[in-house]
């Protein structure tokens, strides 16, 4: 795992040095094409939400630049284009959208990524205007869906006015008169030259080893206050929460003490305290207070570590830091389950999280993302439809809140190593083709999401079950909520097989009780045999989702994959 971490760190530095985002089309700075935004965005576009709504969410992660062009017909995805695709997203079944960074940034070339903020209060002119954002938020809420923004508090672009203006530069960023010895990359390795760059006031600190990003000084109360102001500004204007970037690196106290510092957790707890004000209605004073009451907000941590234990501190005590943390261990665990025929890495991860993380935790699982963590499933599994669908099933039916990266629902390809490959234009032609195919990747993603949205057990508890064929050939687990029990059985091999699952009655399924198919075929087995169930003739890499206890069965969505 250490080797993987260093590889991904190296790739991350490489993408930042070149800008880090795929080209979707021309990037002309013609003022007539990208006019100065004179619109405003008022507070109050809120969706009433109870605390804990994120536990029932299915999140769709949108790389805005690559998704849909609607504003300027320049080949660059934007906010109006995204708004035009809301019917599609609703038909997919997702109910929460997470947008990649949409605020003004320093780099506007082919690989524009947006993590180099130059104005936290302005919309990137390639994506539209504040009025476009207001319209998008209102349209999302009108469909009963939620929307999250990407919040980047650790660093800004070196083109940000805070950095170029001497009045703020010296105290709002981390400086040293010389290039100090002993420092390296915050995740290990590297040299002082990687993280200390020459600037107007000596040498400034940059976590990500590039002279285009500078770390903010979170020991300055003015910086802390300003970041909370940014957070409140966008939450007040209707965002339902935020994914917080690079949370491990807010505070650094010396060489080798550049990540996961106690002071970082203090700053993050202040972010959480502000979010909790929206739960109580005890909000910071501003006009239009009433519409913000009962609009619960949530935040997701990007605490990128390949060790699940490193995520634990970012839940705090379960109520005072993040509602969810991105589960960077899950994509590789799913891959190893399918490609190596070994379910133990995945089941051990899920069991570890249940056993170790504080009460109230919620993992945010995902299939792949915009960074060089892992290739898209369409590439990982060589375009094999059965394995891609199984991978999506293990994400969407996981004991967490699943995140689906745009395009993965149609099997888009993208090889990790150069993250431009992971941020290519959305394949709308594949959407059109697969929509009419009942056994396409897209159709199966819809079935899986519908199953999760319909049955509380698929959003509830988790327990691993034993099978007669072992963890190298099959994976079985039980999901539960109240008296409802749903059994998931997956074939991890490329051949049909029959799998007998045991231990069901100890987990609340009635001995000899009926079995009904949510997804898949029963193949004649319509009841438990004591505390066991036999899933006969599971197709290669097939998955069945079976209702084994409760009174809420809603019918079969689809049979086995053909």
Q: How confident is the model at residue 30 (pLDDT cuts 50, 70, 90)?
A: low
Output the six-digit token pair for 444: 């199966």
Mean pLDDT confidence for 25-48 = 78
Q: How confident is the model at residue 400 (pLDDT cuts 50, 70, 90)?
A: very high
User: Would you list the domain boundaries of the chain?
Assistant: 2-453, 461-549
Rg over CA atoms, the chain? 24
- CATH class of residue range 2-453: alpha beta
Lowest mean pLDDT among 124-133, 275-284, 549-558: 275-284
Instruction: Give the model's pLDDT for residue 294.
Output: 65
Dist CA 11 CA 541 (whole Å) = 32
Query: How do residues 271-312 score in pLDDT, each as one tens digit?
Result: 999 999 998 765 544 444 444 556 899 999 999 998 999 999
In three-state secondary structure terms, 98 is strand
Are 515 and 501 contacting, i.e. CB atoms less than 8 angstroms apart? no
- Does pLDDT of 423 surpass 80? yes
- CATH architecture of the domain formed by 461-549: Sandwich (2.60)
- Does pLDDT of 8 surpass 50? no
- Does pLDDT of 23 surpass 90? no
Dist CA 3 CA 544 (whole Å) = 36
Q: How far from the centroid of its chain's Cα atoms is residue 381's Cα? A: 21
- Does pLDDT of 11 surpass 70? no
Are 58 and 96 contacting, i.e. CB atoms less than 8 angstroms apart? yes
Dihedral sign, Cα of residue 66, residue 67, residue 72, residue 73: positive
Instruction: Give the model's pLDDT for residue 61.
Output: 98
Which of 86, 84, 152 minimizes the C-alpha distance to 117?
152
Which of 479, 480, 409 minimizes the C-alpha distance to 89?
409
Q: How confident is the model at residue 31 (pLDDT cuts 50, 70, 90)?
A: low
Higher-pLDDT residue of 14, 344: 344
Mean pLDDT of the chain: 92
Dist CA 289 CA 554 (whole Å) = 41
Query: How do residues 452-507 score in pLDDT, each as one tens digit?
Result: 999 999 999 999 999 999 999 999 999 999 999 999 999 999 999 999 999 999 99
Higher-pLDDT residue of 126, 24: 126
Instruction: Give the model's pLDDT for residue 27.
Output: 42
- Does pLDDT of 45 surpass 80? no
pTM of the model: 0.94
Dist CA 258 CA 235 (whole Å) = 29
Instruction: Give the model's pLDDT for residue 44.
Output: 76
**DSSP state, 243?**
E
Residue 109, judged by CB atoms within 10 A of its CB (0-12, 13-18, 19+), counts as exposed
Instruction: Give the model's pLDDT for residue 281.
Output: 62
């Amino acid at each position: 795992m250490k080797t993987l971490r260093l590889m991904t760190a190296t790739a991350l530095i490489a993408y930042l040095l070149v800008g880090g985002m795929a080209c979707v089309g021309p990037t002309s700075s013609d003022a007539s094409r990208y006019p100065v935004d004179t619109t405003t965005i008022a507070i109050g576009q809120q969706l009433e939400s109870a605390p804990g709504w994120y536990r029932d969410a299915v999140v769709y992660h949108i790389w805005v630049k690559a998704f849909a062009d609607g504003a300027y017909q320049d080949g660059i995805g934007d906010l109006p284009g995204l708004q035009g695709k809301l019917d599609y997203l609703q038909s997919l079944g997702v109910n929460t959208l997470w947008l990649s960074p949409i605020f003004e940034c320093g780099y506007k070339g082919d690989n524009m990524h947006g993590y180099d903020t130059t104005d936290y209060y302005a919309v990137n002119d390639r994506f539209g205007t504040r009025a476009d954002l207001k319209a998008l938020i209102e349209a999302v809420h009108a469909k009963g869906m939620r929307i999250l923004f990407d919040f980047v508090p650790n660093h800004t672009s070196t083109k940000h006015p805070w950095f170029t203006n001497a009045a703020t530069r010296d105290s709002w960023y981390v400086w040293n008169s010389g290039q100090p010895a002993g420092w390296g990359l915050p995740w290990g390795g590297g040299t002082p030259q990687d993280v200390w760059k020459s600037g107007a006031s000596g040498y400034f600190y940059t976590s990500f080893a590039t002279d285009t990003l500078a770390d903010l000084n979170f020991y300055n109360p003015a910086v802390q206050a300003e970041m909370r102001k940014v957070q409140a500004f966008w939450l007040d204007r209707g965002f339902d929460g935020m994914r917080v970037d690079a949370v491990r690196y807010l505070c650094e106290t010396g060489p080798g003490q550049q990540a996961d510092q106690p002071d970082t957790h203090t700053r993050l707890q202040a972010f959480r305290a502000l979010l909790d004000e929206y739960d109580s209605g005890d909000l910071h004073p501003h006009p239009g207070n009433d519409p913000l009451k009962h609009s619960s907000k949530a935040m997701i941590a990007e605490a990128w570590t390949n060790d699940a234990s490193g995520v634990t501190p970012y839940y705090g005590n379960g109520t005072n830091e993040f509602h969810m943390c991105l589960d960077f261990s899950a994509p590789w665990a799913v891959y190893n389950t399918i490609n190596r025929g070994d379910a133990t890495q995945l089941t051990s991860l899920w069991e570890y999280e249940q056993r170790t993380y504080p009460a109230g935790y919620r993992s945010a699982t995902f299939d792949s993302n915009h960074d060089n963590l892992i290739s898209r499933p369409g590439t990982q599994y060589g375009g094999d439809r059965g394995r891609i669908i199984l991978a999506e099933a293990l994400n969407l039916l996981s004991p967490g809140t699943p995140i689906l990266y745009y395009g993965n629902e149609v099997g888009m390809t993208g090889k990790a190593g150069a993250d431009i490959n992971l941020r290519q234009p959305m394949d709308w032609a594949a959407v059109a083709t697969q929509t009419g195919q009942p056994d396409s990747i897209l159709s199966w993603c819809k079935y899986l999401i519908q199953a999760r949205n319909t049955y509380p057990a698929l959003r509830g508890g988790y327990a691993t079950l034993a099978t007669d064929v072992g963890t190298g050939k099959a994976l079985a687990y039980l999901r539960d909520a109240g008296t409802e029990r749903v059994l998931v059985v997956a074939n991890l091999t490329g051949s049909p097989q029959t799998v007998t699952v045991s231990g069901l009655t100890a987990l609340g399924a009635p001995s000899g009780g009926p079995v009904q198919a949510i997804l898949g075929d029963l193949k004649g087995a319509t009841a438990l045999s004591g505390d066991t169930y036999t899933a006969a003739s599971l197709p290669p890499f097939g998955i069945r989702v079976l209702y084994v206890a409760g009174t809420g069965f809603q019918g079969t969505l689809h049979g086995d994959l053909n």
